[in-house]
Amino acid sequence: MIIDNSSLDEWLAPLKKYQQDTFKQLVDEHGVEEAAKLWLSAQGPKSTVGFGGASNPQPFHDRFMEEFRKFICGDPIYDDVRQKLGVESPIVKGVCISIISTALGAAIGFTATLLAPAVAAMLYLVGKMGINAWCEVS
């Protein structure tokens, strides 16, 4: 799987406009990594439960990051998904984000659509550092 050094705007481009705009605002205020964490901790309307299913979003973010690291750094449980991405030539960012969001969502019990901005942001960060370097520090 090749994760290139594309800009954040290029990684966010396949997302819906409202996701792009909201996420970019978070990035402007907090930086990319913190924006991903805030996105995953969004509580939504007061009458609903947050993404993680609990009032403390930290465990959900931690689970997301654990699964994302497994995916990027080569855990065998994601071999089939990585293989699917490997046959795409070149990998279209939207397909890449969708496949990864779906795989991670299945592992942590959450919808891919709501994970997509965080996945795009993390792919951007991995692309900036390189896969090996990111896996060493994460």
Q: How far is CA 32 from CA 45, 64, 102, 106, 126, in A?
A: 24, 16, 21, 24, 11
104 φ/ψ angles, rounded to the nearest 5 degrees: -70, -40
As for how many domains the chain has, the answer is: 1
Report the pLDDT averaged over residues 17-38. Answer: 95
Picking from 119, 137, 96, the residue whose alpha carbon sits closest to that of residue 35 is 119
Question: Which domain does 126 fall in, by range?
Answer: 8-137
Q: Which helix (H) or strand (E) holds 136?
A: helix 131-137
Least reliable range by pLDDT among 35-49, 67-81, 92-106: 35-49
Structural domain contains residue 83: yes
Q: What percent of the chain has pLDDT over 70?
A: 83
Structural domain contains residue 3: no
Picking from 17, 56, 8, the residue whose alpha carbon sits closest to that of residue 36 is 8
Query: What six digits make up the tokens of 60?
Result: 């959900």
Structural domain contains residue 75: yes
DSSP state, 45? S
Question: What are 25-28's contacts with CB under 8 Å, separation 24+?
Answer: 27/121
Q: What digits encode the pLDDT tens for the residues 40-70?
A: 887 554 444 444 444 455 678 889 999 999 9
Structural domain contains residue 2: no
Report the pLDDT averaged over residues 34-42. Answer: 89
Structural domain contains residue 51: yes
What's the confidence (pLDDT) of residue 2?
65
**Would you say 100 and 1 are in contact if contact means Cβ atoms under 8 Å apart?**
no
Tell me the C-alpha distance between 5 and 11, whole Å. 10
Q: What percent of the chain has pLDDT over 90?
A: 56
The torsion angle over the Cα atoms of residues 81, 85, 86 and 91, rounded to 10 degrees, is: -170
Structural domain contains residue 14: yes
Structural domain contains residue 1: no
Structural domain contains residue 25: yes
Length of the chain, in residues: 138
